[in-house]
Amino acid sequence: MDYEQPQSESETTPEPEASNEQNHKFVADPSSSTPTATTENPWIETLKTIGLSAVLAFGIRSFVAEARFIPSGSMLPTLQIDDRLIIDKISYRFANPVRGDIVVFNPTPQLEKENYKDAFIKRVIGLPGDRLDVKRGKVYINGKILSEKYLDEAPGQDWSTTDTETSGDHPVAWPKDGRVPEGHYLVLGDNRNNSYDSHYWGFVPKDRIVGKATLRFWPIKRVGGIDPQPDYK
């Protein structure tokens, strides 16, 4: 079956940062003999509050969590265009991604060569040491069929990590043993036939993974957890 490579896609876009906290004041203890501090210029207080808020927002976004929205359909039907998500950036500091996780990652070295700069979002399918085959519309991990109930459409192209190279316009050689290397992951879009993912450009190093998509906060009618952990048994 012919399989058309998707056009260049911007996978996730950061939500604009906002920081505007109320300035909380403390009342001086009347029983204290310490002189009361003189009142500071309100403009200075406001600037300090805004500055502190910005620092806190930057710290949270850099190390704890961040918001992203989805501009493309590569993860349909699980993630819809314009969905707003919270990305957990803490978990993978203490544990490795597991099969079925939906992850945001920065462009891999191969994608950087193709001039991609924006982050991608895909589902982890292959773990370190796995060998993966796609044939007759099914994904096989180490020879066993992977049950994927989250797909609307079966993969339309047969391929394997035991092939010589990936399928993209800039093919990358698969490992000789066909297995995902240590510290790397194979990721695929849920919209399997319209996703620029690992079978085009190879594996994702763990150090490129930003975090795990955990919560959808927009649209209101679909607020909540994104996807229960798939049962692959």
> So what's the pLDDT on residue 54?
47
Q: How far apart are CA 93 and CA 81, in angstroms?
A: 29
* Catalytic residue set: 74, 122
Displacement of CA 224 from its chain's centroid (Å): 17
Q: Which residues on adjacent β-strands are paired with residue 9?
A: none
Matching residue, tokens 């996807």: 227
> So what's the pLDDT on residue 172?
93
> So what's the pLDDT on residue 40?
62
CB of 78 closer than 8 Å to CB of 213: no
CB of 141 closer than 8 Å to CB of 130: yes
Low-confidence ranges of the chain (pLDDT < 70): 1-11, 13, 15-64, 228-229, 231-233
Radius of gyration of the chain measured on its C-alpha atoms: 23
Q: Which residues on adjacent β-strands are paired with residue 225?
A: 215
> So what's the pLDDT on residue 69?
87
> So what's the pLDDT on residue 32?
40
CB of 123 closer than 8 Å to CB of 149: no
Q: Which residue, 33, 42, 85, is CA-closest to 210?
A: 85
Q: Which residue, 228, 216, 227, 220, is CA-closest to 12?
A: 216
Task: From residue 77, give the alpha-carbon distance in Å to each of 4, 73, 81, 176, 185.
Answer: 20, 8, 10, 34, 22
CB of 189 closer than 8 Å to CB of 123: yes
Q: Which domains does the chain have, with CATH numbers?
A: 67-225 (2.10.109.10)
pLDDT tens per residue, range 124-167: 999 999 999 999 999 999 999 999 989 989 999 999 999 999 98
> So what's the pLDDT on residue 168?
84
Q: How far apart are CA 50 and CA 20, in angstroms?
A: 6
Question: What is the sign of the dihedral through the CA atoms of 53, 54, 60 and 63?
Answer: negative
CB of 207 closer than 8 Å to CB of 140: no
Q: What is the pTM of this model?
A: 0.75
